[in-house]
Amino acid sequence: MADIRENDIASGSASRDEDGSASVSRLAWISSGLGLLLFLGSVGVLGYEGITRGNGPPVITATVEAVVPAGPRWLAHILVTNDGGKTGAKVQVEGQLMGGDEALETSVAEFDYVPAGSEQKGGLFFDRDPRAHDLRLRVLGYVEP
């Protein structure tokens, strides 16, 4: 440590106090303080997330974002949201085109991984136009990773 300080003094990159010892510049103190604040802020955010995040099961919902033509078929873009405290893996979402009380067509999509507090996007293909029918979505299930 003393060798580094002596090299800094010899090269003129460090200043000397009145007693001849090397002093730390104001810029170094400011940089160190900012680094400490960033570190403490990161630890605080991680601690807050760890304490407030729920431990309950996944709470997974699915909604339709848009329906677009996809060649000779129709694609319903869906958004899967997990508002629960745990991750769901192999999440299956079923979409049914309803004609009254009867299911005219069914499509299923599987999401590999839906972490707690996240959203995933996917799609369901149909032969009929989902905009002309009642499209019902339901989450069939998940497994714990």
- CATH number of domain containing 124: 2.60.40.10
**Model pTM greater than 0.75?**
no
Q: Do 93 and 135 belong to one domain?
A: yes
19 and 46 belong to one structural domain: yes
The reply to whether 22 and 77 lie within a common domain is no
The answer to whether residues 64 and 134 belong to one domain is yes
Q: 38 with 73, same domain?
A: no
Domain co-membership, 45 together with 73: no
Total domains in the fold of the chain: 2
- pLDDT tens over the chain, length 145 residues: 555 555 555 555 555 556 555 677 888 889 999 999 999 999 998 888 777 766 789 999 999 999 999 999 999 999 999 999 899 999 999 999 999 999 999 999 999 999 998 999 999 999 999 999 999 999 999 999 8
Same domain, 81 and 116: yes
Same structural domain for residues 78 and 129?
A: yes
Quick one: three-class SS letters along the chain?
CHHHHHHHHHHCCCEECCCCCEECCHHHHHHHHHHHHHHHHHHHHHHHHHHHCCCCCCCEEEEEEEEEEECCEEEEEEEEEECCCCCEEEEEEEEEEEECCEEEEEEEEEEEEECCCEEEEEEEEECCCHHHCEEEEEEEEEECC
Full residue range of the structural domain in which residue 43 is found: 2-52
Domain end position, chosen among 35, 52, 69: 52
